[in-house]
Amino acid sequence: MNELISIVVPMYYEEQVAQECYNRLKSVMTEHNINHEFIFINDGSQDKTMDILRKLAADDFCVKVIDFARNFGHQNAVTAGIDFAKGDAIVIIDADLQDPPELIPQLIQKWKEGYQVVYAKRKARKGETFFKLVTARYFYRFLNNMSDIEIPKDTGDFRIIDKKVAGVFKRMTERNRFIRGMISWVGFNQTYIEYERDERFAGETKYPLKKMLKFASDGIFAFSSKPLRLVTNLGLLTVLISIGLLLYSIIVKIIGYNIEAGWASIMVAISFFSGIQLLSLGIIGQYIARIYDESKNRPMYIVKEQLNMDELSEYEEE
């Protein structure tokens, strides 16, 4: 095997798993004689993660490290890894060993068969809360209903991508990133292998509800303009309802009934329509916020330090 495989691993407060992650990855690489480089990204963790990475980089020249100036989030960390990767193919994997490194040879195998993207699809998920299982399941179904492209269900970022795909990916500079969707969007020959997702090796999830919601909304708003169409339809519906009400009151007046003006009906109407208005403004706001983020044109991440990298990336601070 002569192809170089880059392994991209984002880390955020992973001092409990960093060493084990390296050990497992390294033994798979040596066992299968894979020419490799590791790109570990410290996404602004303030614990011992960076110390461990520093030590790994000093002992093994295959270990390249990017240290972010602050927490930029999982998706930006993976983006940095892809930007810096030199491999003929790039594997994206979580640090917590929920994605078994032992599957990497299978991913590489499929890639060699001529697929430019091979993602790993979860058959089962161990050690996840009921809440996470249910929300994840329905999220992907909802997302596929909403979005304009097909995004594989029950799939994380664990996958291998060809350097051609990475090249296209680098040209996609959108700020609020939803990588699994972006990679589907690219096209090429894509396939998957199935696996059972393990429990986290140690530590806790770095995706609290707030980050999950942000991530979910990036998936929806970046890949669909259906919410805007929905709002338009709601607007049309309310116009129709109000025309109906107008006609009704005119007819009632002409016929001569003197109906008592009802407090309840007015309150219901006011709260219903103001609810719809706020919802619509919120949805429009989601898109505007994203346009605003793009127009600022800030870097997606800031590198504080890099280890074992032979040349400066375009993102390196002067």
- 53 or 231: CB nearest ligand UDP: 53
Check binding of 83 to ligand UDP (CB under 6 A): no
Q: Select from 142, 207, 287, 315 the one that contacts ligand UDP (CB under 6 A).
A: 207
Classify residue 80 as exposed, middle or buried by CB count within 10 Å of its CB (0-12, 13-18, 19+): buried
Binding mask 2-21 for ligand UDP (x = CB under 6 A): --------xxx-x-------
- 83 or 96: CB nearest Mg ion: 96
Cβ 43 to ligand UDP shortest distance, Å: 4
The β-bridge relationship of strands 155-162 and 89-92 is antiparallel
Check binding of 96 to ligand UDP (CB under 6 A): yes
Check binding of 180 to ligand UDP (CB under 6 A): no
Check binding of 97 to ligand UDP (CB under 6 A): no
Listed residue (98, 119, 102) closest to 110, CA to CA: 119
The sign one gets for the Cα dihedral 73, 78, 79, 80 is positive
Q: Select from 63, 95, 108, 231 the one that contacts ligand UDP (CB under 6 A).
A: 95
Helix (H) or strand (E) holding 295: helix 263-296
- Per partner kind, with CB cut-offs from 5 to 8 A, the member of Mg ion, ligand UDP, none near residue 173 is none
Listed residue (82, 1, 14, 20) closest to 301, CA to CA: 82
Q: Select from 77, 166, 231, 309 the one that contacts ligand UDP (CB under 6 A).
A: 77
Cβ 166 to ligand UDP shortest distance, Å: 19
Report which DSSP code applies to 4.
E
Give residues in contact with Mg ion (CB under 5 A): 96, 98
The β-bridge relationship of strands 303-307 and 63-68 is antiparallel
The site for ligand UDP, by CB under 6 A, has a size of: 16
Q: Is 68 in contact with 35 (CB distance < 8 Å)? A: no
Query: Which residue is it, tokens 């979580």?
Result: 94
3 state DSSP class of 26: helix
- Per partner kind, with CB cut-offs from 5 to 8 A, the member of ligand UDP, Mg ion, none near residue 71 is ligand UDP
Amino acid at 57: A
- 83 or 96: CB nearest ligand UDP: 96
Query: Which residue is it, tokens 């929806």?
Result: 220
Residues that bind ligand UDP (CB under 6 A): 10-12, 14, 43, 71, 73-74, 77, 94-96, 98, 205-207
